Amino acid sequence: MIQKENSKSVITPIRACCLESISIGDFIYISGFIYTGRDSVLPKIVSLIEDGKLEEYGINLEGAVIFHTAVSPAGVGPTSSNKYDIESTIPALSAAGVKLHLGKGELSKETIEALAKYNSIYAVIPPVTALLNRITLSKKIVAFPELGMEAFHLLEVQNYPAIIAIAHGKSIYDHEEQK
Amino acid sequence: MRNKNDIVDKVKECLIKAASTFSDDKKEVYRQAIERETVKTAKWVLETTLNNAMVAEQNRSPLCDDSGIPHLFLEIGPNQSVDGELFSFIKQGVAEGLRELPGRPMAIKGDDTQRIDQSGGLDFDPGALLSAPILLKPTEEDVLRLHMLMHGGGPEIRAKTFRIFHRHKVSVVTEEIIEWAVEASGKLGCSPVTLAIGIGRSHFEATSLMLEAMAFGNYTIQNEIEKEITNRLNKSNIGPLGLGGDTTALGTFLKVGPQRASGVRIVSMRPCCGIEPRKASVEL
């Protein structure tokens, strides 16, 4: 993996104060345990939050990272975070403690505002499955195993590379604002 | 008399190569883009993507975890024949390729309604993933050549097949394609794109031509329309992953088919993501 100079290390679980110094465009390297979920499972996780059943599954979202990916023998890689079933869960997951959503693609103004409201951020990761396989240390299913590759997984990762795309109400996709 | 094992093995290897390898012209276009790119974030994304391709090729492993839906295009020479036996061998080769790669197990089980709402669950066998219908085309060259393309889901969300009223000007058509492409590339999230475009008389024909454009497209051979579309897209500042930069598009692959005597052209456009087109070909 090509390491960037002047990058920041992010260790999970993320403390709220760590986000204060992070800005859009920053390179980060994420290490620790991160959850994964995408179209099928994330709405189910939101339902668990609403029903107060997260603990029954041993899920703790305080300071968590959720990577929008499947987990399969093919590896991991970001899916489009702006798909309805994924983007619509970001406000509720942020309110429940998720500090970093990891995926790809532009998000709506409403989601940017929700991320700011709950002091959460969004980062993008290149679809570099062959490289990510080398720095994915372990993986296990946490909930909804019947969903196969779309089940809620927990990965242990070391130096996952990402770029901060949305933080503190600002989006890197607003190219006019960047000029 | 066909040799079953030989054909199955060739198809299997073709699929693995398509899903794990950048073609030489794609590697070169990446190197050129890295050299030109002036935005540091964009340059890093391009470098990392090319590095990923080198590792995937070495490991014979997927370039992307969305290993794609196999799309097959078969060229048939004048003295070649195809029959049900050949297609069964090809089907077996695809399944074996998906298992060995391994491809992502993403075949949806169940009846019509279960396959639509995904309530029937997934088949955990990567080889259960069926290919799209095989496109057949006669060729003057006396070969039986199979092209394998692996289509990821992201570009499918942003692809578009629609009519354009050309008003007897090529520029009217290209301007509308560029408008579609800018919107699609901005939302794709895994640019730089390669635009695959087919222009035909019907939606089926336009989409078939788009697939053919992907199969035969080469970054080092670009006509004036292709260059124009690529250059215009690169002025959008969408950049790699949509994060801004000089490299929104690596190239354009255009195939123009027969046209109808009419004021309308049917255009199919697929914004292939930064690792696509994933393709390989083999003579059977």
Using one digit for the tens of pLDDT, what is the confidence trace for B250-273?
999 999 999 999 999 999 999 999
Per-residue pLDDT tens digits for A68-115: 999 999 999 999 999 999 999 999 999 999 999 999 999 999 999 999
Evaluate whether residue A2 is within a structural domain. no
Q: How far is B254 from chain A (nearest CA, A)?
A: 25
- Residue A146: its chain B contacts at CB < 8 A? 121
Evaluate whether residue A1 is within a structural domain. no
| Rounded Cα distance, B259 and B200, in Å | 6
Evaluate whether residue A173 is within a structural domain. no
Cross-chain residue pair B51–A2, CB shorter than 8 Å:
yes
Evaluate whether residue A67 is within a structural domain. yes
Cross-chain residue pair A76–B101, CB shorter than 8 Å:
no
Judge whether B164 and B176 are in contact, CB under 8 Å.
yes
> Looking at the complex, does the CB of residue A109 fall below 8 Å from at least one CB of chain B?
no
Evaluate whether residue A177 is within a structural domain. no
Predicted pLDDT of residue A16: 79
- Residue B241: its chain A contacts at CB < 8 A? 104, 124, 126, 163
Cross-chain residue pair A106–B67, CB shorter than 8 Å:
no
Evaluate whether residue A106 is within a structural domain. yes
- Residue B238: its chain A contacts at CB < 8 A? 175
Three-state DSSP class for residue A116: helix
Cross-chain residue pair B126–A104, CB shorter than 8 Å:
no
Closest residue in A to B39 (Cα–Cα): A25
Domain CATH code at residue A120: 3.20.130.10
- Residue A104: its chain B contacts at CB < 8 A? 154, 189-190, 241
DSSP conformation class of A77: -
Cross-chain residue pair B63–A130, CB shorter than 8 Å:
yes
**Element holding A113 (H helix, E strand):** helix A109-117
Closest residue in A to B57 (Cα–Cα): A130
Buried b / exposed e across B20-33, counting CB within 10 Å, b at 16+?
Answer: bbbbeebbebbeeb
Q: Which of B61, B189, B237 sits opposite A104 (nearest CB)?
A: B189
| Rounded Cα distance, B114 and B107, in Å | 12
Provide the pLDDT confidence category of residue B101 given band limits of 50, 70 and 90. Answer: very high
Length of chain A, in residues = 179
Evaluate whether residue A179 is within a structural domain. no
- Residue A123: its chain B contacts at CB < 8 A? none
Q: Which domain holds residue A35?
A: 8-168
Nearest of A158, A153, A106 to residue A137 by alpha carbon: A158
Check whether B146 has a pLDDT greater than 80: yes
User: Angle of helix B170-188 relative to helix B224-234, nearest 10 degrees?
Assistant: 40
- Residue A41: its chain B contacts at CB < 8 A? none
Provide the pLDDT confidence category of residue A179 given band limits of 50, 70 and 90. Answer: very low
Per-residue pLDDT tens digits for A7-40: 889 999 998 788 889 999 999 999 999 999 999 9
Check whether A176 has a pLDDT greater than 70: no
Average pLDDT over residues B65-91: 97
- Residue B52: its chain A contacts at CB < 8 A? 126, 128-131
- Residue B102: its chain A contacts at CB < 8 A? 72-74
What's the ipTM? 0.91
Average pLDDT over residues B114-118: 94
Q: What percent of chain B has pLDDT over 90?
A: 98
**How many beta-carbon pairs below 8 A join chains A and B?**
144
Per-residue pLDDT tens digits for B9-22: 999 999 999 999 99
The answer to whether the predicted template modeling score (pTM) of the entire model surpasses 0.90 is yes
Predicted pLDDT of residue B107: 96
Average pLDDT over residues B192-214: 98
Per-residue pLDDT tens digits for B211-228: 999 999 999 999 999 999
Backbone angles phi, psi at B132, to 5 degrees: -70, 165
Predicted pLDDT of residue A4: 66
Number of compact structural domains in chain A: 1
Residue by residue, what is the 3-state secondary structure of chain B? Answer: CCCHHHHHHHHHHHHHHHHHCCCHHHHHHHHHHHHHCCCHHHHHHHHHHHHHHHHHHHHCCCCCCCCCEEEEEEEECCCCCCCHHHHHHHHHHHHHHHHHCCCCCCEECCCHHHHHHCCCCEECCHHHCCCCCCEEEECCCCCEEEEEEEECHHHHHHCEEEEEECCCCHHHHHHHHHHHHHHHHHHHCCCCEEEEEEEECCHHHHHHHHHHHHHHCECCECCHHHHHHHHHHHCCCCCHHHCCCCCCEEEEEEEECCCCCCCEEEEEEEEECCCCCEEEEEEC
Q: How far is B262 from chain A (nearest CA, A)?
A: 37
Check whether B78 has a pLDDT greater than 80: yes
Check whether B62 has a pLDDT greater than 80: yes
Q: How far is A107 from chain B (nearest CA, A)?
A: 9
| Rounded Cα distance, A49 and A61, in Å | 10
Closest residue in A to B49 (Cα–Cα): A128
Q: Which of A25, A129, A161 sits opposite B64 (nearest CB)?
A: A129
